[in-house]
Amino acid sequence: MHPKLISFPTPEFLRGFLPDQITLYSYGFLIAIGILLSFVFVHRRTKRFGITKDQLSTLFVWCIFAGFIGGKLFFFFEDIDKYLAEPSKFLKLTGGGFVFYGSVIFVIPVIIWFLRRNKIPVRSFLDIVAFVGPIAQGFGRVGCFMAGCCHGKVCHNSLGVTFTDPDSLARPLNVPLYPTQLFDIGINLLIFITLFALEKRKQFAGQLMLIYLMSYAIGRSINEVYRGDEERGFVFDGLLSHSQFIAAIIFAICIAVWIRWRKLSEDKI
């Protein structure tokens, strides 16, 4: 598609501090849009908790930092032998490469820590944060589609999308591939609509967050079947991808937490 949105020469007074050419990449731009919209959504829905915009901004900064570290760390573990063989490549991890589940696993504990520290009801707040997942992930997948990453296998039917831009991360180029990025967008949209439909009918605080995590685990596991970026890693002799394995663990944990939270009359963990 279009990995680069726009490129322009760096103004003379900034040269030396910045590269001669400044490029705005589709992926980073759309991630930023997703984070901004998520912030607006959460801010409007959390006023009843008495949380200020400054507090919410601090929480988002912590989450962005945790998400970056978690996403990069899990990306490193997907092919750890490569980075151990050439440690210099580890320094390049600040560039491309990101694992969504790594971010989730790091971000959720940070949110819980922040809420407890500020004496904010944890499970009720998490029900609002549940909507952030589909919003941020949805825009992120649009960015993936533009960049060509997280692409699908070669497709032999009408669903295929052909990536032709030389800068695209999709491989192979000029061959129809399953648009797994668009499949993921559809999964997140369906989850978002489901959360809205169930919001006023939830049976206990925290239920929406668990529904989000479990629903995405199922959707992601199905979508992984069509993924073509083999470098994302596999376990059990290729039986499951890393993401399918993590999704199964998260689903099982959510079942256990569901049983426990359903018995709690108060919003506490």
pLDDT tens digit sequence for 134-158: 999 999 999 999 999 999 999 999 9
Amino acid at 214: M
Mean of per-residue pLDDT scores for the chain = 88
**Which residues, 6+ apart, have CB-to-CB distance to 45 below 8 Å?**
128, 131
**CB atoms near residue 258 (< 10 Å):** 16
pLDDT > 70 fraction of the chain, expressed in percent and rounded: 90
**CB atoms near residue 248 (< 10 Å):** 13
Q: Domain segments of the chain: what residues?
A: 27-263
Indicate the pLDDT class of residue 47, thresholds 50, 70 and 90: confident
Indicate the pLDDT class of residue 59, thresholds 50, 70 and 90: very high
Q: What is the pLDDT of residue 7?
A: 83
C-alpha angle with apex 178: 222 to 250, nearest 5 degrees?
Answer: 25
Q: With 60 as the cut, is the pLDDT of residue 64 above it? A: yes
In angstroms, the CA 21 to CA 56 distance is 35
Indicate the SS3 state at residue 6: strand
Indicate the pLDDT class of residue 12, thresholds 50, 70 and 90: confident
Overall average pLDDT of the 7-35 stretch: 83
Q: With 90 as the cut, is the pLDDT of residue 48 above it? A: no
Q: What is the pLDDT of residues 183-227, one digit of tens each?
A: 999 999 999 999 999 999 999 999 999 999 999 999 999 999 999
Q: Are strands 21-25 and 4-9 parallel, antiparallel or unpaired?
A: antiparallel
Q: What is the pLDDT of residues 159-177, one digit of tens each?
A: 999 999 998 999 999 999 9
Token pair 């900064």 in the structure block, residue:
61
Question: Which tokens in the block code for residue 94?
Answer: 């600040």
In angstroms, the CA 245 to CA 137 distance is 19
- The conformation of residue 71, written as its DSSP 8-state character, comes to H
Overall average pLDDT of the 3-7 stretch: 85
Peptide bond just before 87 cis, omega within 30 deg: no
Amino acid at 229: D
Indicate the pLDDT class of residue 267, thresholds 50, 70 and 90: low
pTM equals 0.89
In angstroms, the CA 37 to CA 57 distance is 13
**Which residues, 6+ apart, have CB-to-CB distance to 234 below 8 Å?**
240, 241, 242
Residue scoring higher pLDDT (81 or 30)? 30
